[in-house]
Amino acid sequence: MGKKKGRDISGIIVIDKPLGLSSNQVLQRVKRLFNARKAGHTGALDPQASGVLPICLGEATKFSQLLLDSDKAYDTTAQLGEVRSTGDSEGEVFRTAQVPELDDAAVEAVLSRFRGDVEQVPPMFSALKMDGKPLYELARQGMSEAEMRAVAEKKRRTITIFELTLNQRRETQLDLSVRCSKGTYIRTLVEDIGESIGCGAYVSRLHRTACGPYHSGQMVTLEALEQLAIEAGEGDDADFSALDNLLLPPHSAIPDWPEVPLTLAEAAKMLQGQPINTGLADATSVQLWAVESGIRQMIGIGSVEGGVIKARRLMQVSLPEV
């Protein structure tokens, strides 16, 4: 048997994603700095976007999909008067228009139309797939704006804007804060706001401030991690404790889920795929914990249906012999 590559370390680190790097580039760098065997991110940010990017290591990767499905929050700047192919500053200019004179009341009247449940057509330059191909590949094949919109229209969906706030207004720019459901494209939201104003708009700045329960106050920069990795040293004598102390536990991804305590015997059965009978009320999403004799260890997530606990995702853990 070959030696495993990397450490079996589990936890979540909230990275302050810098501009200019893809989410996957950040993921690979974090994985290398922690010398982690397994890592995954929780929803990509474009290279020209910054902010909260939770990276899951080890067993915490089993929570990645939950974070992908979670609500997000952003600060963004809408540049008025131009429509661009990508919906951001990277794209070519499709058309321009004169920006009308605006006041806060006029802007608020427009923003009020985009709160609550809203239909969105995803941008052509997105990773959504049509006939097995990402939309951005189709977009780069020289389609006209009309052709691009016709393809994207087939992916229309309903999203929810929980909060949409005007922070500052300048002559041709609006600084906005958004809290929204999964699947929301801020580029599309800004474009639609621009259309409602009558002059078009694109995203000139995008910074994510929250992803599920994780927020800006928990962010760590890549530079800080790199310095700690240097101090950790290399080889068998490397001391990763300073880096590992930054990791949040996997269950921090689901702080609102109720905990179900299990004896070691019950936990062992669950880890073998066996359901457990209980008198608990039904619950669609619960944390499963082995709690006995000073042991307190999360073993996974599950549900309670008809008085039976069923596992949904189990973690690779070692429990003491019963």
Q: Which domain holds residue 242?
A: 11-69+214-250
Q: Are residues 169 and 99 in the same domain?
A: yes
pLDDT by residue, tens only, the chain of 322 residues:
445 688 999 999 999 999 999 999 999 999 999 999 999 888 788 889 999 999 999 999 988 888 888 999 999 999 999 999 888 888 889 899 999 999 999 999 999 999 999 999 877 666 666 666 666 666 666 666 677 677 777 778 899 999 999 999 999 999 999 999 998 999 999 999 999 999 999 999 999 999 999 999 999 999 999 999 999 988 878 899 999 999 999 999 999 999 999 999 999 999 998 888 888 888 889 999 999 988 899 999 999 998 899 999 999 888 877 5
Q: Are residues 177 and 101 in the same domain?
A: yes
Question: Does residue 130 sit within a domain?
Answer: no
Q: Are residues 201 and 80 in the same domain?
A: yes
Which CATH number fits the domain that encloses residue 267? 2.30.130.10
Q: Tell me the whole-structure pTM to 2 decimals.
A: 0.88
CA 85 to chain centre: 24
CA 263 to CA 279: how far, in whole Å? 15
Q: Are residues 165 and 245 in the same domain?
A: no
Question: Does residue 1 sit within a domain?
Answer: no
Tokens at 252, concatenated = 């921090």
Q: Are residues 310 and 274 in the same domain?
A: yes
Q: Are residues 229 and 278 in the same domain?
A: no
Q: Are residues 82 and 205 in the same domain?
A: yes
Which CATH number fits the domain that encloses residue 91? 3.30.2350.10
Catalytic (active-site) positions: 46
User: How many domains does the chain fold into?
Assistant: 3
Q: Are residues 263 and 306 in the same domain?
A: yes
- 61-68, Cβ contacts within 8 angstroms, sequence gap of 24 or more: 62/250, 62/300, 62/313, 62/315, 63/12, 63/250, 63/253, 63/254, 63/313, 64/40, 66/212, 66/253, 66/254, 67/42, 67/43, 67/211, 67/212, 67/214, 67/253, 68/42, 68/43, 68/182
CA 60 to CA 250: how far, in whole Å? 5
